[in-house]
Chains A and B, each alone.
Chain A
Amino acid sequence: MEDIGIVSYGGYIPRLRITAKEIASIWGKDGERMSSGLGVYEKSVPSIDQDTATISVEAARAALRRTNINPLDIEAIFIGSESHPYAVKPTGTIVGEAIGATPDLMIADYEFACKAGTAAIQNCVALVKAGYIRYGLAIGADTAQAAPGDALEYTAAAGGAAFIIGKEDVIASINYTYSYATDTPDFWRRAERKYPSHGGRFTGTPAYFKHITSCAKGLLEKAGTKPEDYDYAIFHQPNGKFPKKVAKILGFTSEQIKQGLLVPFIGNTYSGSSLVGLASVLDVAKPGDRIFLVSYGSGAGSDGFDITVTDNIMKLNRENAPSMKEMIDDKEYISYGIYAKYTDLLYWE
C-alpha cells in the first residue's frame, strides 16, 4: 500500500482565557459545579482581531515552519469551520495568499459542524492518492459561537490545526479512514443567525455516542485492529465528559486519550476540536506509535482515522513551532466584560 499521510502539522490556540467560574458568576450558577459537570475549567477566547482566517494562517505557517516544503507545491487547501469570517467569500484564499501557495491550486471551504476539518483531510488524502496533487493542506479551525447564558457558553472556544498531506517524507501514515453519517438534527445554526441552537440531551446518545461508536467500530473492523493496538486515541471533545465516556464504551483507556484531550484547558474548538488533539499527540509521538481518531460533526457524522507514526517524525523540525502544550500554558485571563466586548456580544447602533 502506498504511504500517504501527514507530512507536517501545526496548531494554534489564542492566548486569552475565560474560566467557567467567571462565566457562571455572571449567570448566577455555581462555577465549580459547572466546571466539574462539563469537565472544562477554562476556554480560549479569540482576541478582537482574530477569526478563523487568522487562526488558520497561524496554524498553516506553523506546519510550514516545521518542513522545507515549498508552499507553491501545495496544490489544494480545504478549510473546515462553522465560523468562516464571510458567508460568501472563501477563507481558503486568504490562507493561500498568506502562506504563498497561490495561484496554482484548488481551494474550497468546508462545513459539517465540528467534523469539517477531518473531511478536509480525507479529501486531501484522496487527491494525493489519485495523483491530482503533490501536497494538500487541510485545516480545521473555529471561533465558536455560543449564545450568552447558554450551556455552550462554557465550552465554545477558539483554535485550530493544519495538516499538510502528501506521500513524500510522511511522518504519520493514514492507513485507513472510515466515515459514518445520518440525518440527525442535534445541533444547528440557521442561515443568518448569530448563535447555534441544540437539542440539549438529544446531542448525547442518538447523536455524539451513536455516530462515534458506529464509526469507531467500522474503522476497527476495516483496519482489523483492537483498541489495545493503539498508543493514542482522540475523540471529538465538546466537553470533558463525552470523550472519556465514549472511550470507555469502546474499550480505550484513560491513558490512551490523555495526551489528545485538550478540552479541559481550552474548551471546544469545534472544527479544530479533535484536530488540536491530534496535533498534541504528534507533538510527543515516536516512530511506530499508532493513533486512533474519530471526529464528530452535528447533523450528524463521524470520520475515523487509523494512523501510524513513521521514522520520519524524528526528521521533522517539531521545535520550529510552539507545541500545543506551550500554547495552552501561554495565557492571559479576561473578565466576562472583556469577553463580551471581544466576542461581539455587545451591540450598539
Chain B
Amino acid sequence: MKESVARFWREIPQRYNIIGNKCTVCGRVFFPPRESCPYCRRKSLGKMQKIQLSGKGKIVTYTIIHSATEDFEDQVPYPIAIVELDEGPRITAQIVDCKPEDVKIDMRVESTFRKIRQDGSTGAIYYGYKFRPMR
C-alpha cells in the first residue's frame, strides 16, 4: 500500500526523534503531541511545550505477529509491544535485536532508528523508531 509522502514528512519529528509535548499546567507528557491537554483542556491552550523523550522505557505488554500485513510479511514472527516510556506516554512499536521468545513484560527497552517500510522498490523509504532490549 502506498503511503502519502507528505503525511509521513509531517510526522518526521515524532517518527525520528520521539518528540512529544508536555502540559505545563499539570505536567502530563503526551506522545504523539496533542494540541491541548485532555485533563486541563482550555487552561492548557498555548501552554503545551515540545519535549524530546528519552526513548527509554519498559514493555507493558506484547504480542507476536505471525500473520502480518504485506509490508511486514518477510519479518514474521516479530514482536509488537506497548512500551511505557520513562516520561509516561505509552507507544506501540516493534521490538528488534532479540528473538521473539526473549521478549518479556517489564523488560527495559530503548529506541533504535530503523527502516519501517518502503513504497516498493521505486517509492520513498520511511524511517522511524523501533525498540530493542537495553544493554
B36 within 8 Å of A (CB atoms) = no
**Residues of A with C-beta under 8 A to B75:** 48-49
A53 proximal to B (CB < 8 A): yes
Binds A, one of B39-47, B62-70, B110-118: B110-118
User: Are the C-beta atoms of B12 and A49 separated by less than 8 Å?
Assistant: no
List chain B residues, Cβ under 8 A from A50.
Answer: 114-115
* Shortest Cβ gap from B120 to chain A (Å): 12
| CB pair A53 B127 closer than 8 Å | yes
Residues on A with beta carbons closer than 8 Å to the beta carbon of B116 = 49
B60 within 8 A of A: no
User: Is residue A167 contacting chain B, with contact meaning CB distance below 8 A?
Assistant: no
Q: State whether A98 touches B113 (Cβ < 8 A).
A: yes
CA distance A61 to B112 in the complex (A): 10
Interface pair A58/B135, CB less than 8 Å apart: no
The answer to whether B125 and A86 touch across the interface, beta carbons within 8 angstroms, is yes
Does B31 have its Cβ within 8 Å of any Cβ on chain A?
Answer: no
The verdict on A85 contacting chain B, using a C-beta distance below 8 Å, is: yes
The residue that A51 contacts in the complex, of B12, B96, B115, with Cβ under 8 A, is B115
Mark interface residues in A44-73 (1 if CB within 8 Å of B CB, else 0).
Answer: 000111110110011001000000000000
Instruction: Say how far A124's CB is from chain B's closest CB, in angstroms.
Output: 22
Known: A49-B96, A85-B125. A61 touches B113 (CB 8 A): yes
Q: Is the CB of B17 within 8 A of A98?
A: yes
Bound complex: CA of A326 vs CA of B125, how far in Å? 30
Assess whether A100 is in contact with B17, with CB atoms less than 8 Å apart. yes
Cβ-defined contact, A47 with B96, below 8 A = yes
> In the complex the two chains form, what is the Cα distance from A339 to B74 in whole Å?
12
CB A192 to nearest CB in B, in angstroms, measures: 12
Which 10 A-B residue pairings sit nearest by Cβ, starting from the closest? A49-B114, A57-B113, A98-B16, A49-B115, A54-B113, A54-B114, A97-B16, A15-B97, A85-B125, A98-B113
